[in-house]
Structure 1
Amino acid sequence: METFEALFCGQRQNGSIIAELIKEESLDQSRFFEILIKTLLLNPFFSGGILISIVGFFWYSIQWAIDLGKAMFRQNYQQSLEITNENMAFSWVMEHINKKSKVKTQHFSMETNYDYDEEEIDFKFFPGFGSHYFYYKDRWITVDRCKEEKKSHDDYSQKTETVTLSTWGANPNYWKEFLIECSAEPVQAMKKGLQVHFVQDGSYWNSWDKPKRRRTMDSVILSSGLSEKLCKDVQTFLESADWYHERGVPYRRGYLLYGPPGTGKTSVISALASQFGYSVAILSLNDRLLTDSNVNQLINRAPNKTIILLEDIDVAFVSREEKEDSKKETCVTLSGLLNAIDGVASAEERIIFMTTNYKERLDSALIRPGRIDFQAYLGHCTEDMIERMFRRFYNDVSDEMAKNFVEATKKLEKTVSPAELQRHLIYYKLDPQEAIDNVHSL
């Protein structure tokens, strides 16, 4: 009782009443708590706190009900489509938004592409990062574009972009129809030209918007019979899927083209891809953003019907002394590349081409059978190659003129690469006789 008395004796009025009642022996326990509750309710601070708690509880309940209603409404009536920039349709969707939407965003991001073959520069504008709205086919669509940076184990940053499209009340096929429309023009362009893919930010495949012109095999002048052998080997491989599967052999094919610079290694790969309706995915192992994990993912998740091209494969794996002299850095290891090519998780239905100017520098493990199945040397021009290239550049030239050109090149007493010879013939493309008379300029 002394504790209650000490607690309430200092209170004004109500506290004094309780203190007096406590002193009375006749006050029983139930009467005491009744008086205590009435007294607390008369206290403005206590009653105000109870009121605030009640209001807060009801406000929280209302908010919870609203959030639950929104979630259920979104679940039943809102449809969203999420695409990352690792998906080849990412740029198609972004460009389609700008081209086809009736109400366009005013906040853009820009991408610049330069075509070295055509010597053309192209600027592309996409909706910038953040939230946008556009009106398309009688629907308002929300576009949320965000970017996330991830650091690899060697502290190199890799950027991943995500775009989320949301709309209300769409039918289940809405997004499928939307994607088909987005991809219609790019797919038609790919069918007409050669699509080239490249590695973006060391982590995913991207591609040039404008496909390159397809090359025919006869536009690449190789030593006699080599073009036919390559074409036949690729054709046989593409027709042998069942044969590989029935015998439990991984359905993969590897090619190595080696020889001096300017002998047409990359050109013949482009021509093969064009002939068989494939695209080309170029993977440079000298990219400092690449790791073993990235290479594994890129090689085994390349776009369908794609020839993977590893250019100048010897440069990526030089000796320690050569690496210090050249100051080249790469995070890709030979064991990591080998695992990507034919490891347990390696994809099938895949064609890989490797090129090098120095075959002798390659590790034997890299080019052993099963990883490299077909090797071809592309050398300097032979007499037959010189004559065929001359005839290709000039229509209806006489046999005598073709022979004179071959004889003139023989007098140079030096080897000539196909690239050097092509440059010469292009310079004198209007007059074959001038090409003969000026062979010494080679």
Structure 2
Amino acid sequence: MALKPVPVQADISLSDKASFFDSLKENPYFSAGFGLVGIGAGLSLLKRGTAFSYTLLQKRFTVSLEIVSRDKSYDWTLKWINSHLKQRARHISVETFFQKNDKNQRVATSFSFAPSVGVHFFKYKSNWIRAERVRETMVDRNTGSPVETLKLTTLGTKTDIFQDMLLQARQSALSEQSGKTLIYHAGLGGDWGLFGWPKDKRPFKSVVLDDGIAENMKNDILDFLKSSKWYYERGIPYRRGYLLYGPPGCGKTSFITALAATIEHDIAILNLSDRGLTDDRLNVLFARAPLNSIILLEDIDAAFGSRDIVKNNPTAYQGFSPLTLSGLLNALDGVASSEGRIVIMTTNYVDRLDPALIRPGRVDVKQFIGYATRSQIERMFNNFYPNTHHGISHEFANKLIALNRNFSSAQIQGFFMLHKNDPNSALQNCDSYFNKF
């Protein structure tokens, strides 16, 4: 019978284990690898600790303000920051614009500087502020410019410093626009944008309408602006609509410009014939209209005709804007229509307008602005030639009235421009000039 071999178990003593680890220590490759792992682990812990400490520092001991370029205060803040950076900023961006010189009324070129994309530091009221301007790849549909973000960070726990900065930036920007009327237009992105540069405010007396019209309109709007409480207490929607109608060239648009300057409002022009204007977009534009502005709908008859016309000729308005009359009516006084709004419509053909568009509640005041009357002609003459005896203006008006024709304010003003500094020449040549019409 064969004997099975019995396995021999090796007994490793403690002294052998110690010698094994000692040999690993003496191995240069093992020692180097273990050291690198230790250093890497240490650096990783240090990095995490630094990041954690920085995040904790930001949350506990700093405050930040983020402004996107779509916000109205973005440009104000950039210009204000540049005034505080002064000569310390090494990287700046420039915007070139043109403005009239107050002395000679000639157009001059000006430059507006702002911090460029990147990080900048400046001091405000003993506080160091970090300003980071970031430019995104996304494009703003209203301006066509890249979307930007401005982030301001400073030590502290309160945001009062940022509120103070924004108020100063706003005040500085408004001081530059003092005495100006801003014109807004509807952009492609469904929001409002500035159209051109701010315009000098037009004097109210520079637009001569028939007796009492201008003053009555101005007083009505001023009464509306101070009657919000009266409207709310009686449950009446706080908005006002006006319709100016009459022949072309009689001063409708000019009067609106002068009226806006008098009540210190801007003008937001809305083109209803825009092919990209839909009912939904119109509602958004009405809701986002600039504060303290008049919404101007010029030549409203060109966008819509009476429903009787469309009924008799269904193809009469094909190819026009996708905006519907129902959409405009809802924007004017629907459930979602905005409050505190002034809308002025103009038309040369009031008979073409749908009765539903100009009913009370949508149009509160209808004002006819027609051809020049005797009183208008005399006052226009006196405006152009203020140092002339009033008897000449009376004689000039008599000559035009004797022609037994209708003349617009634009026609009379065009004639005065030919004799800017010579009232006697204007009186002598008016017959031959106006007989052409």
In structure 1, C-alpha distance between the alignment counterparts of 2:301 and 2:118, rounded to whole Å: 46
- Within the candidate set 338, 349, 353, 2:340 is matched to 349
Do the aligned residues in 1 keep the contact of 2:89 with 2:115 (CA within 8 Å)?
no
Report the alpha carbon displacement of residue 389 of structure 1 after superposing the two structures with TM.
0.9
In structure 2, C-alpha distance between the alignment counterparts of 1:25 and 1:332, rounded to whole Å: 98
Describe the superposition over 1:64-115 as per-residue Cα deviations: whole angstroms up to 9, x where unpaired: 4333322222223333322234433222222223344222353525365678
Q: Which residue of 2 aligns with 1:146?
A: 135
Q: Which residue of 2 aligns with 1:239?
A: 226
Which shifted more, 56-65 or 304-313? Answer: 56-65
Distance of aligned partners of 1:82 and 1:243 in 2 relative to their CA distance in 1, 3 Å threshold: same
- Within the candidate set 369, 385, 392, 2:360 is matched to 369
In structure 2, C-alpha distance between the alignment counterparts of 1:110 and 1:24, rounded to whole Å: 96
Report the alpha carbon displacement of residue 252 of structure 1 after superposing the two structures with TM.
0.5
Gaps of 5+ in 2: 10-19, 25-30
Q: Which residue of 1 aligns with 2:64?
A: 80
- Within the candidate set 417, 433, 437, 1:441 is matched to 433
Q: Does residue 423 in structure 1 map to residue 408 in structure 2?
A: no
Report the alpha carbon displacement of residue 385 of structure 1 after superposing the two structures with TM.
1.2
1:7-86 to 2 correspondence within 5 Å?
61-86=45-70
In structure 1, C-alpha distance between the alignment counterparts of 2:6 and 2:343, rounded to whole Å: 101
- Within the candidate set 242, 249, 260, 1:273 is matched to 260
Q: Which residue of 2 aligns with 1:104?
A: 89
Distance of aligned partners of 1:253 and 1:288 in 2 relative to their CA distance in 1, 3 Å threshold: same
The one-letter code matched in structure 2 to 1:417 is: S
Which shifted more, 209-218 or 345-354? Answer: 209-218
Describe the superposition over 1:342-385 as per-residue Cα deviations: whole angstroms up to 9, x where unpaired: 23232211111122233334333332221211111212212221
Q: Which residue of 1 aligns with 2:151?
A: 165
Do the aligned residues in 2 keep the contact of 1:82 with 1:164 (CA within 8 Å)?
yes
Q: Does residue 224 in structure 1 map to residue 211 in structure 2?
A: yes
Report the alpha carbon displacement of residue 121 of structure 1 after superposing the two structures with TM.
6.5
Do the aligned residues in 2 keep the contact of 1:258 with 1:359 (CA within 8 Å)?
yes
Count of residues paired in the alignment: 402
Do the aligned residues in 2 keep the contact of 1:86 with 1:206 (CA within 8 Å)?
no
What's the TM-score, normalizing by structure 2? 0.76
Do the aligned residues in 1 keep the contact of 2:67 with 2:74 (CA within 8 Å)?
yes
Describe the superposition over 1:247-274 as per-residue Cα deviations: whole angstroms up to 9, x where unpaired: 1111110111122222211222222222
Do the aligned residues in 2 keep the contact of 1:132 with 1:142 (CA within 8 Å)?
yes
Distance of aligned partners of 1:75 and 1:356 in 2 relative to their CA distance in 1, 3 Å threshold: farther
In structure 1, C-alpha distance between the alignment counterparts of 2:379 and 2:42, rounded to whole Å: 89
Do the aligned residues in 1 keep the contact of 2:132 with 2:152 (CA within 8 Å)?
yes
SS at match of 1:408: helix
Describe the superposition over 1:165-199 as per-residue Cα deviations: whole angstroms up to 9, x where unpaired: 32321553221222222222332344534343344
Report the alpha carbon displacement of residue 390 of structure 1 after superposing the two structures with TM.
0.9
Q: Does residue 188 in structure 1 map to residue 175 in structure 2?
A: yes
What's the TM-score, normalizing by structure 1? 0.75
Gaps of 5+ in 1: 1-22, 28-37
Distance of aligned partners of 1:315 and 1:78 in 2 relative to their CA distance in 1, 3 Å threshold: farther
Describe the superposition over 1:135-181 as per-residue Cα deviations: whole angstroms up to 9, x where unpaired: 343635323143464799xxx99767333132321553221222222
Describe the superposition over 1:281-321 as per-residue Cα deviations: whole angstroms up to 9, x where unpaired: 22334456655444333322333322222223333447755
Stretches of 4+ moved more than 6 A in 1? 23-27, 47-58
Q: Considering only aligned residues, what root-mean-square deviation do their CA atoms show, in Å?
A: 4.0
Do the aligned residues in 2 keep the contact of 1:158 with 1:289 (CA within 8 Å)?
no
Do the aligned residues in 2 keep the contact of 1:131 with 1:144 (CA within 8 Å)?
yes
In structure 2, C-alpha distance between the alignment counterparts of 1:341 and 1:60, rounded to whole Å: 63
- Within the candidate set 329, 348, 355, 1:338 is matched to 329
The one-letter code matched in structure 1 to 2:199 is: K
Distance of aligned partners of 1:73 and 1:286 in 2 relative to their CA distance in 1, 3 Å threshold: farther
Identity %: 33
Distance of aligned partners of 1:337 and 1:277 in 2 relative to their CA distance in 1, 3 Å threshold: same
SS at match of 2:181: coil
SS at match of 2:130: strand
In structure 2, C-alpha distance between the alignment counterparts of 1:58 and 1:335, rounded to whole Å: 71
In structure 2, C-alpha distance between the alignment counterparts of 1:151 and 1:192, rounded to whole Å: 30
Do the aligned residues in 2 keep the contact of 1:393 with 1:425 (CA within 8 Å)?
yes
SS at match of 2:200: coil
Which shifted more, 289-298 or 302-311? Answer: 289-298
